Amino acid sequence: MKLDVFERIMLMNILPQQGDFVTLKLVRKLRESLSFNEKEIKQIDFKSHWRCSTCNKTEMSTLPIKCEDCGVYMQPAGQVTWDEEKAKDVIKEIHMGRAMHGLCASTLEKLSDEQKLTEQHMSLYEKFVEGEEKDEEE
């Protein structure tokens, strides 16, 4: 399945963090497939937001950095940015088996059932859930 930068990040964020041993092994492998290599990080100018736990100062950087004011390493603030124009050409083919595809589809369906699906999830929903329905009709 071909996924763009945003879809890869969104999918990583909705994958379950709890489950049985086999599911967690499969999720770990899928997260590795979805992750970004050094070439992609450089190509799309991928940056993380960092926050100093001492003075609360924030910075953006590819790698962990020390706070200039406090001298302590900053902590990830949970937000990432990238150059959207450069990212348009970064599409990755993600190979997954039926079990992982089904897990992604059921996770998105659950978000929809619970009214927690957002506009950011729509392209994933279309690929995993509606794409699956098309396959069944054929």
User: What pLDDT digit, counting tens, does each position of 65-96 carry?
Assistant: 999 999 999 999 988 999 999 999 999 999 99
Higher pLDDT, 72 or 136: 72
Q: Domain-by-domain residue ranges, the chain?
A: 2-37+89-137
Alpha carbons within 13 A on the beta-carbon side of 1:
23
What is the arithmetic mean of pLDDT over 84-113? 95
With b for 16 or more beta-carbon neighbours within 10 A and e for fewer, the 15-25 pattern comes to beeeeeeeeee
pTM: 0.83
The CA distances from residue 72 to 38, 51, 67, 107, 138, in Å, are 25, 10, 6, 38, 58
